[in-house]
Chain A
Amino acid sequence: MPMPDNTACNNCALHNTAGLKKLGIDTANVDYVVALAGNPNTGKSTVFNALTGMRQHTGNWPGKTVVRAEGGFSYNSHKYKLIDLPGTYSLLSTSQDEEVARNFILFGRPDVTVIVVDASRLERNLNLTLQVLEITDKAVLCLNLIDEAARHHIKIDQRALARDLGIPVVPTTARSQQGIPELLKAIDDVATGAIICRPHKVKNLSKPVEKAVKQLAGALEQQFPGLPNSRWLAFRLLEGDSRITAAVKNNELKELVRP
């Protein structure tokens, strides 16, 4: 779906790319922190470069980014710090790249998490999306590589998707900058609270699992009132995650409660 390139559009508030200032590695005194998560090889680094004006090396293979990269941009006079997390298929195992991504979304408490997905492989990518939405409720789905999906005649009902996931959905082709203005607007809206997300929580759990999760999440909320991701923490505790167990013991969870 190529974006029409006429002047009327460029004058629209949505196309406020003039409000974008690419700050490269200058990340001092930021107003908001944004994390970039997503499956490997969905173009996270390309989105990162499009937003920060940096030229992180991008490559067409899964696992290119194993360390997190940071950059900055400013939009509508808000200063943002952007963190490019390693691409992972899930957040449920213990390989080092998954832990880096998971710990940042959980303990780093980004103001917005942008989940970059490959539009032509949406179903597979949604697994990670749903896991991220269990951890944080401030997220934007970046439906990247939309041009590739179109080439394969895949149509995506982006409204239905946004409704089901409960977060803004923005189709992009980051390598040619398409959809970046809309993505910026969505990030800004979620960060400032102009859009309140109602993220999807996993529904298809068996009765005993659902019951156990509810019980444990309840106990966690009692101990740490206002905990935003008690359900996900319950998942992890039920699996015996040692990092989360330690976080319960050393009161790290208290810091997850937003003031």
Chain B
Amino acid sequence: MTEAEKDNEILARAAGLRWQLGDNFHDKLTEGIYTDAAQIAAHAVETPAGERHYTFDSKIDKIVTSKTWGFPIMIGLLAVILWITIEGANYPSGMLFTLLIDTVHPLLKSLAAHIGLPLWLDGLLIDGIYLAVAWVVAVMLPPMAIFFPLFTLLEDFGYLPRVAFNMDALFKKAGAHGKQALTMSMGWGCNAAGVIATRIIDSPRERLIAIITNNFSLCNGRWPTQILIATIFIGALVPASLSGLVASAAVIGIALLGVAFMFLTSWGLSKTVLKGEVSTFTLELPPYRPPRIWQTIYTSVIDRTLIVLWRAVIFAAPAGAVIWLVANVHIGDITIANHVIDFLDPLGVFVGLNGVILLAYIIAIPANEIVIPTILMLTVANLGLIGVGDTSGKLFELDSAMATGSILSAGGWTLLTGINLMLFSLLHNPCSTTIYTIYKETNSWKWTTLASLLPVIMGLVVTFLVTQFWHLIWLMPEVKP
């Protein structure tokens, strides 16, 4: 008998025995293992008799996973974190602006003039690359350095599985896997990480749903955008003492809207292209553990804040060069940026945004983090705002979020533009890293394309509808008389 024949004989014998044993072999084996485990545990473990264990944990769980309090507590915790972030980020952000943009930038300019750097190189390096990087750092670093440690503390405490527990019923109704709540939470950190995390879902159908809808979790790169725009446009609607609260509420609204879109899309997918049964699973609620504060702050600053910031900087540097080039290279009478913005403007205005925002989202496909800096630089370039002591028409003074607001107002932004930007920031294509990760995980161009285009289309539709509705409300009183 050859080797191959012997191998086949083994397989044949296995098949024969399998037939004899019946189809519940798996259960029998599992049963055997459990019995062994129980015997060994009985031998080695001594638990206090009579006393009820884990009373502390189960007391907390009774409240945080209760039907009445589960969701309010969830939203409340998120609100507190966002409020601390918004209130806390203002001051350091202003300081970074003063340092990096008001102080270091002119210094670099005069240094460049001193050593006689060619004007185009000076513009590309200092007005393009340096400014974009400085802006990313000033806009992103303070909120991230506050938001991530707080979020990580909550994670270390053991709260995330409780979120999954609370949301399980909703996901089930949407035809998706309950563990999607966990991948969704991961997505609140980073969508690429959220997509990889879907490996914990064993049904391919539900895993695909989780992958495609992960983008509806606001990620690292988008929280700061939301926080900034909410502070400028929505927080400004109310007296200063309330603005932090109102801005947090707006950001929470967007995050919850994202969750709603996730359910809606999951439901839509499970009723159309990804039909099937919901599978059941066991979710273990881990014990609450007192978070180690310093270690958490250390790892979340190193692992999350600096890594995300570094990624933003890496993408911001070339983007800064691109922005400077499109804003300074002329075709005919006007710059490339103006050409593209003019071209995109009708579509932008149609959906309540503008050409600058759309161009910024194209330039910022590699990283969501740089959307706001890109928008600001393009707006300034487009308007030809010229700041103090500047030779190339790129510098302007900015020392707080409110100054950012004044640039945007000069660019023709209204409250509606702000709201629509927040919506579009939630609903647009995933960043290139996430798209690549989706392709790697699904191995399918079809699903990757769907996952990339679906959110953009939804974003355009939603902003369009909001704009129409908005105009309807504002026009009403004028039409009536």
Known contacts A61-B155, A123-B45, A157-B44: A55-B303 contact under CB 8 Å: yes
Which of A92, A124, A205: most chain B Cβ within 10 A? Answer: A205
What are the interface flags for B422-446 relative to A under an 8 Å C-beta threshold, 1 for contact and 0 otherwise? 0000000000000000000000000
What are the interface flags for B79-97 relative to A under an 8 Å C-beta threshold, 1 for contact and 0 otherwise? 0000000000000000000
Known contacts A93-B202, A215-B13: A130-B37 contact under CB 8 Å: yes
Measured in the bound complex, the distance between the Cα atoms of B48 and A1 in whole Å is: 16
Would you call B29 and A61 a contact (CB within 8 A)? no
> Contacting chain B: which of A8-16, A21-29, A75-83, A231-239?
A231-239
Would you call A209 and B196 a contact (CB within 8 A)? no
Is B286 an interface residue when CB atoms closer than 8 A count as contact? yes
Residues of A within 8 A of B275 (CB): none
B356 to A: closest C-beta gap in Å: 37
B442 to A: closest C-beta gap in Å: 12
Residue in A98, A124, A219 whose CB lies within 8 Å of B10: A219
Is B311 an interface residue when CB atoms closer than 8 A count as contact? no
Residue in A66, A90, A154, A251 whose CB lies within 8 Å of B48: A154
What are the interface flags for B130-166 relative to A under an 8 Å C-beta threshold, 1 for contact and 0 otherwise? 0000000000000000000000100111101100000
Would you call B51 and A248 a contact (CB within 8 A)? no
Would you call B157 and A60 a contact (CB within 8 A)? yes
Is B47 an interface residue when CB atoms closer than 8 A count as contact? yes
The size class of the interface chain B forms with chain A is: 35 or more
Would you call A122 and B54 a contact (CB within 8 A)? no
Residues of A within 8 A of B10 (CB): 216, 219-220, 223, 237, 248
Measured in the bound complex, the distance between the Cα atoms of B45 and A35 in whole Å is: 26
Closest to A215 in B: B17
Is A127 an interface residue when CB atoms closer than 8 A count as contact? yes
Would you call A130 and B45 a contact (CB within 8 A)? no
Would you call A92 and B29 a contact (CB within 8 A)? yes
Which of B29, B155, B202, B304: most chain A Cβ within 10 A? Answer: B29
Measured in the bound complex, the distance between the Cα atoms of B289 and A156 in whole Å is: 21
Would you call B199 and A97 a contact (CB within 8 A)? yes
Residue in A40, A62, A164, A239 whose CB lies within 8 Å of B40: A164
Measured in the bound complex, the distance between the Cα atoms of B34 and A97 in whole Å is: 21
A35 to B: closest C-beta gap in Å: 18
Residues of A within 8 A of B200 (CB): 63, 66, 95, 97
Measured in the bound complex, the distance between the Cα atoms of B9 and A220 in whole Å is: 10
Is A4 an interface residue when CB atoms closer than 8 A count as contact? no
Residues of A within 8 A of B6 (CB): 223
CB contacts under 8 Å to A, within B1-44, are 3-4, 6-11, 13-15, 17-18, 20-21, 25-26, 28-41, 43-44
Measured in the bound complex, the distance between the Cα atoms of B307 and A58 in whole Å is: 16
Would you call A209 and B25 a contact (CB within 8 A)? yes
Would you call B44 and A161 a contact (CB within 8 A)? yes
Known contacts A63-B200, A123-B37, A152-B53: A41-B284 contact under CB 8 Å: yes
Measured in the bound complex, the distance between the Cα atoms of B36 and A132 in whole Å is: 14
Measured in the bound complex, the distance between the Cα atoms of B37 and A157 in whole Å is: 15
Residues of A within 8 A of B241 (CB): none
B255 to A: closest C-beta gap in Å: 19
Is A249 an interface residue when CB atoms closer than 8 A count as contact? yes
Is A144 an interface residue when CB atoms closer than 8 A count as contact? no
Closest to B3 in A: A251
What are the interface flags for B276-312 relative to A under an 8 Å C-beta threshold, 1 for contact and 0 otherwise? 0000001110110100100000110011100000000
B279 to A: closest C-beta gap in Å: 10
Would you call A238 and B25 a contact (CB within 8 A)? yes
B97 to A: closest C-beta gap in Å: 30
Would you call A55 and B34 a contact (CB within 8 A)? no
Residues of A within 8 A of B47 (CB): 152-155
Closest to B183 in A: A63
Measured in the bound complex, the distance between the Cα atoms of B45 and A120 in whole Å is: 9
Would you call B161 and A61 a contact (CB within 8 A)? yes
Residues of A within 8 A of B18 (CB): 237-240
Would you call A92 and B13 a contact (CB within 8 A)? no
Is A202 an interface residue when CB atoms closer than 8 A count as contact? yes
Would you call B160 and A61 a contact (CB within 8 A)? yes
Would you call B202 and A223 a contact (CB within 8 A)? no
Measured in the bound complex, the distance between the Cα atoms of B17 and A95 in whole Å is: 25
Residues of A within 8 A of B205 (CB): none
Main secondary structure of the interface of B (DSSP, over half): helix
Residue in B29, B53, B156 whose CB lies within 8 Å of A235: B29
Would you call B40 and A165 a contact (CB within 8 A)? yes
Is B478 an interface residue when CB atoms closer than 8 A count as contact? no
Residues of A within 8 A of B33 (CB): 127, 130-131, 202
A248 to B: closest C-beta gap in Å: 5
Is B197 an interface residue when CB atoms closer than 8 A count as contact? yes
Is A200 an interface residue when CB atoms closer than 8 A count as contact? yes
Which of B25, B35, B39, B43: most chain A Cβ within 10 A? Answer: B25
Would you call B37 and A66 a contact (CB within 8 A)? no
Residues of B within 8 A of A129 (CB): 37
Would you call B26 and A216 a contact (CB within 8 A)? no
B229 to A: closest C-beta gap in Å: 29
Measured in the bound complex, the distance between the Cα atoms of B25 and A208 in whole Å is: 10
Would you call B32 and A206 a contact (CB within 8 A)? yes
Would you call A96 and B44 a contact (CB within 8 A)? no
Residue in B7, B39, B54, B299 whose CB lies within 8 Å of A55: B299
Would you call B303 and A57 a contact (CB within 8 A)? yes
Residue in B17, B41, B51 whose CB lies within 8 Å of A122: B41
Measured in the bound complex, the distance between the Cα atoms of B284 and A124 in whole Å is: 11
Residues of A within 8 A of B372 (CB): none
Would you call A57 and B287 a contact (CB within 8 A)? no
Known contacts A164-B43, A208-B21: A92-B26 contact under CB 8 Å: yes
What are the interface flags for A86-104 relative to B under an 8 Å C-beta threshold, 1 for contact and 0 otherwise? 1001101111111000000
A-B residue pairs in contact (CB < 8 Å), sample of 26: A41-B286, A55-B299, A57-B304, A59-B155, A60-B155, A62-B284, A63-B179, A66-B197, A86-B199, A92-B30, A95-B199, A122-B41, A123-B41, A130-B36, A152-B54, A153-B48, A154-B45, A161-B43, A161-B44, A165-B40, A200-B40, A215-B13, A219-B9, A223-B6, A238-B25, A249-B4
Q: Which B residues have a C-beta under 8 Å from some C-beta of A?
A: 3-4, 6-11, 13-15, 17-18, 20-21, 25-26, 28-41, 43-48, 51, 53-54, 152, 155-158, 160-161, 179, 182, 196-197, 199-202, 282-284, 286-287, 289, 292, 298-299, 302-304
